[in-house]
């Protein structure tokens, strides 16, 4: 594999237009709010995960199990799965708002409509995934081009032409607005969402061994991918801020708000449904591809170690973990109803995005801690790639992740006039229950018979071999003593 191929793969798995409205409310300051987490989180994640992937196969479960402990390894893989429970409602809320701009733009702020679309599309995705189809793979592979590069480029070009014709930007574009206005921690709280925007770099680290010269080519691929990701995130966010005032910007429908404003200005409104279809198809393709991914990883580990009860480990005739997907879907449905109950759709979207980030940050806290310990306890373990200054880099990522988790408890202006304590309780409750309490109960209540029959047979054979070896050693040792 060439380093450029790896760079493009990484870009396609990380970059998206969905987060652009979140940062567009900050105008020119979004550049700083994207660059800061890129330096303290994006690059540390890429470098650390590359060393771990080149030395230990099996993903984050293996890394954390080897570096810390198996229960913490389960916690890491559980959080990778659990974050999707809140991730899919927020993703599908974006899809619902995009569809609304084709049907009726007023629906974009309708909570009941958003909840219905989330439930219908999610369960349709579960049905498709349970059939074991591979038809969605092509749709997802084209997602970077169809739903990101083409719309993103068009958005930026239209924005530049709009400004070039002498129109005033909706957000100030002068040097005094390079940094966000400091009004307390709330002025930086949107940066938390950027940590989740950059998540996924660790997934492509598994390909480090496929490079011809990993030590030189992997950093080159990561720096290239980081530059492309930053461009995809920053430039469309700026374009949105040029045409949509921050007070009117919706976190779910901001991309379509900008396209609609540009298309109306240039008298090409017929392109609105075309762009909407492109954005929706890319998002749905990504959802279908990832829907079974984290749950499959959790299933494989649970069948080996018995972390989940047999009911959740059952497979359908297509070999898909249908019971686990359905159980996840029930919880997702309950969460989707919150969009109908919370008056402001943007508030609901932001809350679920923060909970998603909080749960996923647990994975990174464990990964950075495991990397530091493995470098110290197993310095001679074969690695295809040695990250330079791994310990300082990992400490930077660890501190940044912890800081992002703390800042996540501060409500942003998008939360509206709701109670601060209500926000803290919702976010904290989601983090504790989903990220800590549920995996603790699984570990506490698990039984040996929860392992799959194959795993039980393998364990029994291993124990028998160990007993046989011990029995064979006994007589020889006695004879030697005699």
Q: What is the pLDDT along the chain (482 residues), one digit of tens a residue?
A: 788 887 877 777 677 787 788 788 888 888 888 888 888 888 898 889 888 888 887 778 889 999 999 999 999 989 988 887 777 887 888 888 888 888 888 887 788 888 888 889 888 888 877 765 454 444 455 666 777 788 888 999 999 999 999 888 888 888 777 777 765 565 556 566 677 678 777 766 667 777 788 777 877 887 888 888 888 889 999 999 998 887 787 767 788 888 988 998 899 988 888 888 888 877 777 677 667 567 777 888 888 888 888 888 887 777 777 788 888 888 888 888 877 777 666 667 677 778 888 888 999 999 999 999 999 999 989 887 888 889 999 999 999 899 888 888 877 655 555 677 888 888 888 889 888 999 999 998 888 888 877 766 665 565 566 556 555 555 444 444 43
Structure tokens at 14: 């990380």
384: DSSP letter: S
Burial call 55-82: b when 16+ CB within 10 Å, e when fewer: bbebbbbbbbbbbbeebbbbbbbbbbbb
If phi > 0 it is left, if psi is from -120 to 50 it is alpha, else beta; for residue 168 that is beta
pLDDT at 288: 72
Q: Are 274 and 303 in contact (CB under 8 A)?
A: no
Structure tokens at 363: 């994975």
CA 392 to chain centre: 24
pLDDT at 100: 86
Burial (CB < 10 A; 0-12, 13-18, 19+), residue 211, is: buried
167: DSSP letter: P
pLDDT digits (tens, 9 = 90+) for 288-337: 766 756 777 788 888 888 888 888 888 777 777 778 888 888 888 888 88
Question: Which stretches of 198-344 are DSSP H helices?
Answer: 214-243, 254-265, 271-291, 293-305, 310-313, 322-341
Residue closest to 282 by CA, chosen among 95, 20, 117: 95
Residue closest to 254 by CA, chosen among 349, 189, 342: 349
pLDDT at 114: 85
pLDDT at 212: 82
Question: Which stretches of 68-171 are DSSP H helices?
Answer: 70-103, 111-130, 136-141, 143, 150-164
């Amino acid at each position: 594999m060439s380093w450029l191929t790896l760079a493009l793969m990484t870009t396609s798995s990380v970059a998206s237009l969905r987060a652009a409205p979140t940062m567009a409310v900050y105008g020119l300051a979004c550049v700083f709010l994207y660059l800061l987490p890129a330096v303290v989180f994006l690059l540390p994640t890429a470098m650390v995960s590359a060393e771990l992937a080149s030395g230990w196969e099996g993903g984050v479960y293996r890394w954390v199990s080897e570096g810390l402990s198996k229960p913490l390894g389960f916690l890491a893989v559980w959080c990778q799965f659990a974050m999707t429970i809140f991730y899919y409602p927020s993703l599908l809320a974006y899809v619902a708002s995009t569809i609304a701009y084709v049907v009726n733009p007023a629906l974009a702020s309708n909570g009941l409509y958003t909840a219905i679309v989330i439930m219908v599309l999610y369960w349709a995705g579960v049905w498709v995934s349970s059939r074991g189809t591979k038809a969605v793979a092509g749709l997802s592979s084209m997602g970077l081009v169809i739903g990101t590069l083409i719309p993103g480029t068009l958005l930026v070009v239209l924005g530049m032409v709009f400004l070039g014709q002498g129109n005033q930007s909706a957000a100030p574009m002068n040097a005094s607005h390079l940094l966000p206005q400091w009004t307390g921690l709330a002025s930086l709280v949107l940066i938390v969402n950027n940590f989740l925007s950059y998540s996924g770099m660790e997934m492509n680290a598994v390909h480090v061994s496929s490079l011809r010269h990993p030590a030189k080519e992997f950093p080159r691929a990561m720096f290239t991918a980081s530059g492309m990701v930053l461009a995809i995130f920053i430039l469309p966010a700026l374009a949105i801020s040029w045409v949509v005032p921050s007070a009117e910007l919706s976190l779910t429908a901001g991309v379509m708000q900008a396209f609609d404003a540009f298309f109306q200005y240039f008298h090409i409104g017929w392109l609105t449904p075309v762009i909407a279809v492109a954005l929706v198809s890319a998002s749905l393709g990504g959802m279908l591809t990832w829907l079974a991914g984290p749950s499959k990883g959790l299933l494989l580990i649970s069948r080996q170690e018995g972390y989940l009860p047999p009911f959740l480990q059952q497979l359908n005739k297509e070999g898909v973990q249908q019971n686990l997907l359905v159980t996840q879907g029930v919880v997702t449905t309950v969460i989707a109803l919150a969009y109908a109950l919370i008056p402001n759709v943007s508030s609901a979207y932001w809350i679920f995005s923060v909970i998603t980030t909080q749960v996923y940050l647990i994975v990174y806290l464990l990964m950075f801690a495991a990397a530091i310990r493995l470098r110290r306890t197993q310095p001679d373990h074969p690695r295809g790639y040695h990250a330079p200054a791994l310990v300082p880099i990992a400490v930077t990522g660890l501190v940044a992740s912890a800081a992002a988790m703390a800042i996540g408890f501060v409500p942003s202006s998008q939360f509206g006039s709701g109670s601060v304590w209500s926000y803290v309780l919702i976010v904290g409750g989601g983090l504790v229950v989903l990220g800590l309490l549920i995996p603790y109960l699984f570990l506490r209540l698990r039984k040996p018979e929860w392992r799959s029959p194959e795993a039980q047979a393998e364990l029994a054979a291993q124990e028998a071999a160990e007993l046989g070896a011990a029995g064979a050693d006994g007589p020889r040792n006695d004879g030697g003593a005699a």
